[in-house]
């Protein structure tokens, strides 16, 4: 075997390795693509199932709380108390803006001597 044959066989070996590496990369890419599509589909289903479960649990909890609140209201007679409180709400009187300004001016005059003393 001469030096030329060694170089040709080495080049053929490297070329064959490169082709083999490329083919295995393409096969791996195809497998990963299929797995990813299958995985994302299952993730969407899992998220949807978890959301539906959360929604059912939340509705059940709300119904339980409403039942407990209704029972508590029946026991304490809270509905009557709430009606009485709403009937006796104090009326809110609005101050005129000019009255507020006059009050501020008067307060400022009385505070001025106190401020000057200190």
The predicted structure's pLDDT at residue 117: 63
The predicted structure's pLDDT at residue 58: 93
Token look-up 């075997």 returns 1
Q: What is the pLDDT of residues 88-105, one digit of tens each?
A: 555 565 555 556 656 655
Residue 26 is given by DSSP the state H
Q: What is the pLDDT of residues 75-89, one digit of tens each?
A: 877 655 555 656 555
What pTM was estimated for this model as a whole?
0.34
Q: What is the pLDDT of residues 6-34, one digit of tens each?
A: 889 999 999 999 999 999 998 898 888 88
CA-CA-CA-CA dihedral for 85, 86, 89, 94, to nearest 10? 160
């Amino acid at each position: 075997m001469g030096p030329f044959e060694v170089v040709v066989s080495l080049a053929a070996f490297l070329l064959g390795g490169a082709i083999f590496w490329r083919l295995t990369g393409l096969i791996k890419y195809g497998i990963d693509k299929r797995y990813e599509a299958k995985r994302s589909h299952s993730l969407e289903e899992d998220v949807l199932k978890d959301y539906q479960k959360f929604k059912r649990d939340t509705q059940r909890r709300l119904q339980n709380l409403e039942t407990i609140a209704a029972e508590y209201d029946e026991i304490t007679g809270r509905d009557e108390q709430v009606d009485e409180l709403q009937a006796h709400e104090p009326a809110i009187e609005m101050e005129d803006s000019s009255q507020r300004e006059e009050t501020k001016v008067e307060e400022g005059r009385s505070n001025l001597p106190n401020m000057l003393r200190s």
